[in-house]
Amino acid sequence: MTGEAFIKTILQKGKDAKDKASLEFSDISLEQLNWKPFPQSWSIAQCLDHLIMSHTSYFHNLEKITEGNYKMNFWERWSPFTSLSGRLLKQQLQEQPKKKFKAPKKIQPSASEMKMEIVECYYKSLDNFLEYISNCKKIDIDKTIITSPTLSMVTYSLRDAFQFLIQHEHRHINQAIRVKTNEDFPKE
């Protein structure tokens, strides 16, 4: 699939994630937003906070890329593991998880209760993220290699990053929906 066609597909999947979140969380109470099925699991607010941190961890590089100021470093140009890393992340971060993973410390959500604004912050963050992706239509997303913002030895193509990040988006929106559908979820 060409870069432009791929980006169009990714943007639609991003819009679908926002629509799904809006449908599920637009009329939620503060208590429901912060409720957890188990102490070690995440609330809806924490799922959204995690996605915000995930988006923003890429903003610096995406800004440089879209402005034409991005220069790949030595490791990004020569890492023999770039394709493998991208492939593994696409497999691991499926929309429907086969296995749970612990989020890297840098993008773990706050343990504190969050305010209602987290929902609107999530929408704004996703909109910004999708705008960066949209601005990459003229970029060679297969030859532009970036380093993971959470693991400095891991590199992958921009195409792979966009694919696994949108899968990751849906993965955590689905997780938040599962919290909401838990039989013990607080009723209004």
**CATH code of the domain containing 144:** 1.20.120.450
- Whether 186 is in a domain gets the answer no
- Whether 49 is in a domain gets the answer yes
Closest CA to 167 of 118, 95, 98, 79: 95
Closest CA to 144 of 56, 66, 54, 51: 66
Question: What string of pLDDT tens digits covers the 188 residues of the chain?
Answer: 788 999 999 999 999 999 999 999 999 999 999 999 999 999 999 999 999 999 999 999 999 999 999 999 999 999 999 999 999 999 999 888 888 888 999 999 999 999 999 999 999 999 999 999 999 999 999 999 999 999 999 999 999 999 999 999 999 999 999 999 999 999 87
- Whether 106 is in a domain gets the answer yes
Predicted TM-score (pTM) of the model is 0.96
- Whether 27 is in a domain gets the answer yes
Number of domains in the chain: 1
The position carrying tokens 């209602």 is 116
Q: What is the extent of the structural domain holding 143?
A: 3-180
Q: Which residues contact 110 (CB under 8 A, 6 or more apart)?
A: 46, 49
**127 near 54, Cβ under 8 Å?**
no
Distance, in Å, from the CA atom of 188 to the CA atom of 5, rounded to the nearest integer, reads 43
- Whether 187 is in a domain gets the answer no
